[in-house]
Structure 1
Amino acid sequence: MAQNLDGYHRALDLFEGLLAGAPRDSWDAPTPCGRWTARDLAGHVTGGQHLIRALASGEPAPDTTEAPARFVPGDVLMAWRTARKQSAASLTPDALRRLVPVSGLGELPLVDFLGGYVLEPLVHAWDLAVATGQPTRLDRDLVHHAFATAQLIAAPLRADGRLAPPLRAPQGADEQTRLLSFLGRPQPASTAPHP
């Protein structure tokens, strides 16, 4: 079992950096995630830290998609950091061995789930960057890893209506653009790859 959570922590660091860099007046900005604002999106990813803590302890998992802004009342960055700290504290060796349900894949040890979970904060980091006018270039190694995960889990998520249909990536697109297109995210002109 892989115990290296470096990619997971790097993806969380990337998301946290974008939260910290978001202008204070940007939390009502629309995101590429349908009807969600930047605050909703931040709440969804923050809720994911509560979800991981619940999986680690065997508690009922919270719904992170219904009214996600409830996870980040007031100071968004402080709510995120608190949730992240609590989640990290729950990741004991025993918790990392705990089997957790994974849609379409059965059960996996939590440590392996976290390896694939990189996709969630990474792609939502891009969403947040677009919404708040920040740089949208993602870590290439994390993109590569996340794309492999996306290809494994996309079918059941699409069947449940939780993932948009794929878009056609431009010819010669880089891997980040191909990943985002696969996940149904249209590329704003300002983030399209340069020729």
Structure 2
Amino acid sequence: MAQNLSGYHRALDLFEGLVAGVSPDGWDAPSPCAGWTALDVAGHVTGGQHLVQALATGEPLPDVGRDPARFVPDDVLMSWRAARKECAAALTPDALRTPIPFGALGHLPLADYLEAYILEPLVHSWDLAQATHQPSHLDPDLVHHAFATAQVVSAPLRAKGLLAPP
């Protein structure tokens, strides 16, 4: 089982830096995610912190794809930071050992899932950077790791209509 979540935290740090760099009038900008604004992207990734927290605590999983802006109702950066802090508090050693479903791969300990989850905040960091005209300085090690994860998860996500063609 993975013991080091540094990649996960670096991906979250990258996303947070981009959220902090969005101008107040930048949240309505269209993103590369069809039909989503920069605010929707921020809400989706913030909702992802609620999802990870739910996996850690056994609570019902939120639908982070439906109306994602609801996860960032007022101050986007403060909403993000609060969700991240609450999620981090839920990632206890016991929670990180908890087996969670991971599609065709069966069940994985939450810590291993979080290694694969790097893909989510990393891809949406790029989306947010593009939408808000910020430089996207993606960590090459995280990109390499995320690309490997994408090779495993992309076909099932495309089959469900959750991912566009390559």
Asked whether the two chains share a fold, i.e. TM above 0.5, the reply is: yes
Identity between Structure 1 and Structure 2 (%): 71
1:136 CA drift (Å)? 1.7
The residue identity in structure 2 corresponding to 1:103 is G
Aligned 1:45-194 pairs, distance under 5 A: 45-166=45-166
Contact 1:104 1:153 in 2 (8 A): no
Structure 1: runs of 5 or more not aligned: 167-195
Higher relative helix content: 2
Match of 1:104, SS?
helix
Deviation at 1:137, TM superposition (A): 2.7
In the alignment, the residues of structure 2 paired with residue 77 and residue 141 of structure 1 have an alpha-carbon distance, to the nearest angstrom, of 26
CA distances 1:127-185 after superposition (whole Å, capped 9, x unpaired): 0000001002311000000000000000100000000011xxxxxxxxxxxxxxxxxxx
In 2: Cα distance, 1:54 partner to 1:64 partner? 12
CA distance in 2, matches of 1:127, 1:53: 23
SS, match of residue 100 in structure 1: strand
| 3-state DSSP of counterpart to 2:30 | coil
Asked whether the equivalents of residues 44 and 68 of structure 1 are also in contact (C-alpha less than 8 Å), the reply is yes
Work out the CA distance in 1 between the residues paired with 2:28 and 2:104: 34
Q: Secondary structure at the match of 2:104?
A: coil
Residue equivalent to 1:174: none
Shift of 1:104: 2.8
Whole-Å Cα distance in 1 between the matches of residues 94 and 102 of structure 2? 18
| Matched residues, number | 166
Shift of 1:2: 1.4
Q: Which has the larger radius of gyration?
A: 1
CA–CA separation in structure 2 for the residues paired with 1:105 and 1:47: 24
Contact 1:43-1:72 at 8 Å conserved across structures: yes
Deviations 1:85-135 (A, max 9, x none): 000000000000001111232211000000000000001000000000100
CA distance in 2, matches of 1:101, 1:93: 18
Cα pair 1:46 1:72 within 8 Å, conserved? yes
Q: Which runs of 4+ in 1 moved over 3 A?
A: none
Provide the C-alpha distance between the structure 2 equivalents of 1:147 and 1:104, rounded to a whole number of angstroms. Answer: 18
